[in-house]
């Protein structure tokens, strides 16, 4: 019995030793076998998008494992790849457990992510020109687009477009520059030639101080395009976009180079009429009237400084350029004005008739697209001299004219009409406002009464002469309130409206005469 007991003890001790030895061997030869203490879940099966990808010892390891898997997918592409990546876990509490190698878990994650790609967005570029925007696939396409706008006017290919980062902007914004190809070529050799250039500059300055400057002849000028740039702000921004959001570069080129209608403002200057403005801006007069609510017809009054909306065809991207041109042309001298302080500004007289001269010139002409903006003559040779026109003009501001009544309805305009009643003229020489009998009629401008009384077919009338030589006439009155020789001021009551003479109803008739001839009062009333 004692023998059995001693033998059992020896076996038990030997088994314990063997167990310890086995544990030490497993730790040395099998590092992936981990002994877990019973402190809750200590083995975690990780799932990615519902698929098991490995067993890990710590949940926190999953974050960097997933990042590494994403990096492997993105490292070989400049595209923005969108994919599903939902990570879940199942935990177990084990005494003994085996975890997967990190490399294997990452490989499994990478495989799952590749099959979970939802959308691939391409690195692309958004070009913004004022309100116009277009998305292109590459920098090369952006350059081609912007170069096309320049090439439209640069027939000789002197200028090249480049795009570079805008260091003053926080976002990834690129800015285009238009540079002369010749200047770019010089930049490439600038380092080699720095010393030589310095010596040449010193020598050139020395000879310039000794030799007098010689005026250039016509053949000494390099004619053609001398500068070109964009007239609009152009921004290029990097973006990630789906393929269907991109525009074909050839379509984009057609879009920015074709002419489109743009609204611009024309400011009325002295001497302008609607017909003259239509000729200046090359737009039909009826279209100008249609675009401006304040204009009713070709007889509408326009004032100096008034702004009119005009539509001008322009491309989406404006190009401004300067060209040096040789021109032979007839020319006219500017008008010479002689001021007369005793005359009104409406009065003028030609003292000398003009005649054109002829010259040849070198001029720097500035364009906005195809429109000439300005011209500077840098060399001129007169073939024969022009004779200027000399005009004497008044400086006094003429009187203004106002509507002769408050309210009323314009019932008959100036010019041809169907006679409203027997005996009335079909060529109406004034304006009629329908208004009840007894409405106050006022002087349209300050002046002197030259007739007040009965005027045959006009019924009761009042005629007033004004300081600028014009005369106003008021007809079909019911009562006259002034007398001949009386001076009246603008807005002063002179009569009451009526229905006298040849009349089809209660109204007042107004005429304005210049040099004895009736004109359309609407062109002179404020």
Q: How far apart are CA 23 and CA 149, in angstroms?
A: 79
Q: Is the pLDDT score of 40 beyond 80?
A: no
Average pLDDT over residues 299-319: 84
Crossing angle between the packed helical segments 61-74 and 102-114, to the nearest 10 degrees: 50
Query: What would the mean pLDDT of 206-219 be, rounded to a whole number?
Result: 68
What is the mean pLDDT of the segment spanning 385-404?
93
Predicted pLDDT of residue 170:
60
Residue 122: per-residue pLDDT: 74
| Three-state secondary structure call for residue 188 | helix
pLDDT at residue number 355: 95
| Per-residue pLDDT at 229 | 95
The average pLDDT across 468-497 equals: 95
Class of CATH domain 409-523:
mainly beta
Task: List where CATH 2.20.230.10 sits in the chain.
Answer: 319-396
> Lowest-pLDDT range, 306-310, 318-322, 420-424, 445-449?
420-424
Give yes or no for a contact between 126 and 237, defined as CB atoms under 8 angstroms apart: yes
- Domain range 319-396, its CATH number among 3.20.20.370, 1.10.3720.10, 3.40.1710.10, 2.20.230.10: 2.20.230.10
Most confidently modeled of 8-17, 92-101, 142-151, 274-283?
142-151
| For residue 290, pLDDT beyond 50 | yes
Least confident of 173-177, 202-206, 278-282, 337-341: 202-206
Residue 352 has pLDDT above 90, yes or no: yes
Rounded to an integer, what distance in angstroms lies between the CA atom of residue 161 and that of residue 256? 16
Banded pLDDT at 4 (limits 50, 70, 90): very low
Is residue 148 predicted with pLDDT exceeding 80?
A: yes
Burial of 308 (0-12, 13-18, 19+ CB in 10 A): buried
d(CA 255, CA 410): 49
Average of per-residue pLDDT across 375-402? 93
Q: Identify the pLDDT of residue 5.
A: 47
* pLDDT for position 195: 44
pLDDT for position 295: 87
Q: How far apart are alpha carbons 523 and 526 in whole angstroms? A: 9
Element (H, E) at 145: helix 139-151
Residue 98 has what pLDDT?
A: 81
Residue 257 has pLDDT above 50, yes or no: yes
Q: Which residues contact 115 (CB under 8 A, 6 or more apart)?
A: none
Question: Over pLDDT 90: what percentage of the chain?
Answer: 37
More reliable by pLDDT, 239 or 79: 239
pLDDT tens-place string over residues 165-195: 876 666 678 889 999 988 776 655 554 455 4
Q: Where in the chain is the domain with CATH 2.70.70.10?
A: 409-523
Q: What pLDDT does 36 receive?
A: 46
Q: Which residue has the tokens 């004692």?
A: 2
Name the band, by pLDDT with cuts 50, 70 and 90, for residue 1: very low
Average pLDDT, the chain: 82
Instruction: Please tell me the distance from the alpha carbon of residue 418 to that of residue 440, in angstroms, as a whole number.
Output: 28
Please, where in the chain does CATH 3.10.350.10 lie? 268-315
- Find the helix or strand (DSSP H, E) in which 334 lies: none
Cβ neighbour number for residue 52 with a 10 Å cutoff: 13
Give whole-number Cα distances, 279 to 283, 285, 384, in Å.
7, 8, 29
Between CA 12 and CA 1 the distance in angstroms is: 17
Superfamily of domain 268-315: LysM domain (3.10.350.10)
Inter-axis angle of helices 249-257 and 139-151, to 10 degrees? 30
Question: Tell me, what's the pLDDT at 328?
Answer: 95
Contact 387, 483 (CB under 8 A): no
């Amino acid at each position: 019995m004692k023998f059995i007991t001693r033998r059992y003890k020896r076996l038990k001790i030997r088994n314990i030793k063997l167990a310890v030895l086995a544990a030490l061997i497993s730790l040395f030869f099998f590092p992936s076998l981990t002994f877990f203490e019973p402190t809750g879940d200590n083995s975690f099966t990780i799932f990615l998008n519902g698929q098991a990808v490995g067993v890990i010892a710590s949940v926190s390891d999953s974050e960097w494992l997933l990042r590494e898997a994403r990096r492997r997918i993105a490292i070989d592409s400049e595209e923005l790849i969108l994919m599903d990546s939902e990570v879940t876990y199942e935990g177990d509490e084990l005494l003994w457990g085996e975890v997967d190698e990190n490399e294997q878990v990452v490989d499994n994650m990478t495989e799952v992510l590749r099959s979970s790609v939802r959308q691939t967005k391409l690195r692309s570029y958004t070009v913004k020109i004022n309100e116009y925007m277009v998305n292109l696939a590459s920098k090369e396409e952006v350059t081609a687009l912007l170069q096309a706008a320049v090439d439209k006017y640069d027939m000789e290919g002197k200028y090249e477009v480049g795009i570079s980062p805008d260091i003053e902007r926080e976002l990834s914004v690129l800015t285009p520059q238009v540079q002369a190809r010749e200047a770019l070529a010089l930049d490439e050799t600038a380092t080699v030639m720095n010393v030589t250039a310095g010596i040449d500059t010193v020598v050139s300055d020395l000879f310039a101080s000794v030799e007098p400057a010689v005026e250039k002849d016509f053949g000494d000028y390099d004619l053609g395009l001398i500068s070109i740039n964009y007239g609009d702000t152009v921004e290029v921004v990097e973006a990630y976009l789906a393929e269907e959001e991109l525009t074909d570069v050839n379509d984009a080129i057609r879009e920015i180079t074709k002419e489109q209608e743009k609204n611009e403002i024309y400011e009325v200057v002295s001497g302008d009429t609607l017909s003259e403005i239509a000729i200046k801006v090359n737009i039909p007069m009826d279209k100008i009237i249609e675009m401006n609510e304040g204009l009713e017809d070709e007889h509408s009054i326009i004032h100096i400084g008034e702004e009119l909306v005009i539509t001008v065809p322009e491309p989406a991207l404006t190009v401004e350029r300067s060209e040096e041109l040789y021109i032979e042309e007839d020319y006219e001298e500017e008008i010479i004005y002689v001021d007369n302080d005793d005359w009104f500004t409406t009065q003028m007289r030609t003292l000398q008739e003009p005649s054109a001269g002829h010259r040849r010139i070198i001029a720097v002409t500035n364009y906005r697209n195809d429109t000439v903006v300005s011209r500077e003559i840098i060399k001129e040779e007169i073939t024969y001299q022009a004779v200027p026109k000399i005009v004497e003009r008044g400086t006094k501001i003429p009187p203004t004219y106002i509507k002769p009544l408050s309210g009323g309805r314009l019932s008959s305009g100036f010019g041809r009409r169907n006679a409203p009643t027997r005996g009335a003229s079909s060529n109406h020489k004034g304006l009629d406002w329908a208004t009840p009998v007894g409405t106050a009629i006022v002087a349209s401008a300050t002046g002197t009464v030259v007739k007040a009384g009965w005027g045959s077919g006009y019924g009761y009338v009042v005629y007033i002469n004004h300081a600028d030589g014009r005369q106003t006439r008021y007809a079909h009155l019911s009562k006259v309130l002034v007398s001949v020789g009386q001076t009246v001021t603008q807005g002063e009551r002179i009569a009451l409206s009526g229905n006298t003479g040849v009349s089809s109803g209660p109204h007042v008739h107004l005429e304005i005469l210049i040099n004895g001839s009736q004109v359309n009062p609407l062109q002179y009333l404020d």
